[in-house]
């Protein structure tokens, strides 16, 4: 547990440093996004909301006989957005550096929230219980997460943590978006339910899954390992068949998750989180502006 605590503290320090290096030199008053006051114009690109096209400027830039040259407005990004970040502290998250990776990811998002003067709510799921903490400042949320990891032993319960995450969303008010930091220890049915909950609440959702290479790849080409049930009865299982079933489960969870939200990220531990830091921060920016929750068809 002490190793997890030390690794988590180091991961948080690294996350804060990486976020500051990426945000260095940017002005908060000129951060662009979706808001109420526009500050600049730029050429239209496929995927831009047609509502933000400035038709007067576009008409002046269009030469008769040529293609239409559209221009869209860029807005001052909103501040004081409420976002929920929920950390899964199940026993399975202790494997290798999945938990430090999730804390690194949290520190990136919370540091970005601090730059935007957002309000952060932190949820922690352990066993069949959860708690929600509302810090006065976003930076306090980072230290709260580290203290919980260092003081509490991660444990699993009888309920799927995705179900508990759904309960937190139902009971938490004023949030614009929600992030769930977890692993693949879920059933597809419990992940699928999150779609209905998120749509009903009108918020954007991000699902971030942490895994380790050894969890989905067999250590041996051939072999048998004991598989034991809760009663202590064991049978010998083909290691290739076992890991094939594990990979199929991961594929099912990924497929269902993409139907729930477009903001799904797969991260292989702390190293993977650092590789995906730009994508993680862009995901936070997307959910805080409440972009479309489910891809249109």
CATH of the domain at 161: 3.40.50.410
Q: Are residues 191 and 56 in the same domain?
A: no
Q: Are residues 71 and 86 in the same domain?
A: no
Domain assignment of residue 251, yes or no: no
pLDDT: which is higher, 297 or 252: 252
Q: What is the pLDDT of residue 243?
A: 87
Lowest model confidence (mean pLDDT) among 51-65, 143-157, 249-263? 51-65
Question: Per residue in 105-130, pLDDT tens?
Answer: 999 999 999 988 899 999 999 999 99
- Which of the listed residues 41, 76, 111 is the one where a domain comes to its end? 76
At 64, the pLDDT band (50, 70, 90 cuts) reads: low
Q: Are residues 146 and 209 in the same domain?
A: yes
- Which of the listed residues 76, 105, 140 is the one where a domain comes to its end? 76
The range of the structural domain enclosing residue 176 comes to 2-25+79-214+260-288
Q: Are residues 46 and 96 in the same domain?
A: no
Q: What is the pLDDT of residue 235?
A: 54
pTM for this entry: 0.78
Residue 45 structure tokens? 């690109």
Q: Are residues 186 and 152 in the same domain?
A: yes
Q: Are residues 158 and 111 in the same domain?
A: yes
Q: Are residues 138 and 275 in the same domain?
A: yes
Domain assignment of residue 10, yes or no: yes
The angle that helices 188-201 and 161-171 make with each other, rounded to 10 degrees, is 10
| 282-288: average pLDDT | 89
Q: What is the pLDDT of residue 2?
A: 53
Q: Which residue has the tokens 């932190």?
A: 122
Q: What is the pLDDT of residue 1?
A: 47
Count up the domains in the chain and report the number: 2
| 85-110: average pLDDT | 96
């Amino acid at each position: 547990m002490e190793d997890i605590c030390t690794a988590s503290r180091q991961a948080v320090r690294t996350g804060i440093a990486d976020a500051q290096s990426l945000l260095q030199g940017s002005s908060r008053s000129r951060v662009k996004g979706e808001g109420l006051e526009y500050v600049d114009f730029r050429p239209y690109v496929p995927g831009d909301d047609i509502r933000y096209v400035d038709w007067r400027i576009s008409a002046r830039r269009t030469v008769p006989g040529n293609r239409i040259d559209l221009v869209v407005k860029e807005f001052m990004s909103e501040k004081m957005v409420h976002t929920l970040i929920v950390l899964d502290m199940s026993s399975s998250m202790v494997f290798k550096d999945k938990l430090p990776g999730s804390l690194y990811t949290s520190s990136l998002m919370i540091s970005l929230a601090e730059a935007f003067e957002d309000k952060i709510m932190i949820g922690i799921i352990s066993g069949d219980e959860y708690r929600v903490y509302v810090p006065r400042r976003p930076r306090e949320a980072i230290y709260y997460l580290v203290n919980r990891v260092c003081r509490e032993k991660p444990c699993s319960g009888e309920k799927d943590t995705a179900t508990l995450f759904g309960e937190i969303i139902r009971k938490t008010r004023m949030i614009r978006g929600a992030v769930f930091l977890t692993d693949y220890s879920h059933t597809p049915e419990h992940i699928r339910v999150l779609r209905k909950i998120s749509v009903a609440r009108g918020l954007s959702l991000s699902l971030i899954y942490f895994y380790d290479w050894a969890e989905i790849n067999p250590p041996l080409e051939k072999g048998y390992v004991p598989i034991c049930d809760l009663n202590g009865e064991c049978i010998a299982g083909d290691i290739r068949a076992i890991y094939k079933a594990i990979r199929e489960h991961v594929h099912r969870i990924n497929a269902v998750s993409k139907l729930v939200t477009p903001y799904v990220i797969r991260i292989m531990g702390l190293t993977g989180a650092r590789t995906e830091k730009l994508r993680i921060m862009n995901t936070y920016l997307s959910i805080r502006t409440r972009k479309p929750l489910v891809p249109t068809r």
